Structure 1
Amino acid sequence: MDTKGIDQMLSVLRATAAQASGRTAEAPATEGSSDFAKILENSIAQVNQTQQQAEDMAAKFAAGDSTANLHEVMISLQKANLSFQEMVQVRNKLVTAYNDVMNMSV
């Protein structure tokens, strides 16, 4: 799995947290970096693509395609499941961070 997008997202979150607490932080923008929404969108698209590939492999196996191996289908399905669970955990952390920021007294 490509971790570059996750690393960029974490740097944006750290910089935002530093700004919210009144500290100065390193600029999260690095050469070739994207905005937070674009990183999140790309991550969701990658999870979706992984799930679609797993479903296609499972459908081919169920249809009796001789090129689809059971172990490859199972591995693909597990990768899709793990990537989806990871995305849910990131979403949960984002919601928690949002709630924390919204509950801050000004």
Structure 2
Amino acid sequence: MSPTATWIAVLVGAGVVFAIKLVGHLVPEHWLAEPRVARTAALVTVALLSALVAVQAVAHGRELVLDARLPALAVAAVALALRAPFVVVVILAAATAALLRALGMP
């Protein structure tokens, strides 16, 4: 892909994102106040974040990779289920990944 095509893609993408954001501001406020819309928006946020975490945990480029990130994610999930503070969750996950990598897991 040429640099010109890349910049065109970036600018078009930025324009589309800006347009979507602008449309979001034009939605009447009483539509957003409905409980069903608020519940759906909350679920979409959780689903998007979960998908991003899953992709980052098991993907490297276009390949599926099972390395130290997956057990670290499992440890973080257990810590979150036990309602550990976020700092503790991050430290446990990082320590798990570091320990597994020190033991030779990729």
Q: TM-score, normalised by structure 2?
A: 0.31
Bigger helix share: 2
Greater gyration radius: 2
Q: TM-score, normalised by structure 1?
A: 0.31
